[in-house]
Amino acid sequence: PQLVFSNVLLVVGAFLIVLLISRARGLSFPRTWLQPMIIASVGIAIDVTVGAAIFGLMIVLPTVYGHIASAREMLRSASVAGVAPLYFVLNGIVQVLWLLYGLGAGDSALIVACILNGSLSFTNVVIYSIRAHKISIRSNTDADAQHVELVGT
């Protein structure tokens, strides 16, 4: 009940944003609205029929995919320059706070979503920290090698 008003505001805001974008781009009703309506209907059906924990898993899947893609990119790229670790830290903190609320309220959907999202956020912080540390060691070694080469000449 305490989240109904804020969720209604979010739905109205999202509706208005999609409406403005669809009108600005000249998109038809089915192209703009059909996919979100189907996804929302499937989400509601899952919540009602299967349960809140499965619904929590479903709603967090896009974020999980994003975190996994970020981790993979940080592990594969030559440098983590340009990555904003503060996002991962803040996201992890927010997930911990929502997890505490979910535990207190007994909301299994929120608990599942926060555990997955928070774990992956903090995993990305660890990956970033390890990669950033290794890059700084490499750059110092390269600088020392260049210095030694110049001095020896």
**Grouped pLDDT means (10 residues each) for the chain, 153 residues:** 75 86 85 82 86 85 89 90 90 94 92 93 94 61 48 43
Whole-prediction pTM value? 0.61
Burial of 21 (0-12, 13-18, 19+ CB in 10 A): exposed
Question: For residues 128 and 81, what is the distance between their CA atoms, to the nearest angstrom?
Answer: 10
pLDDT at 4: 77
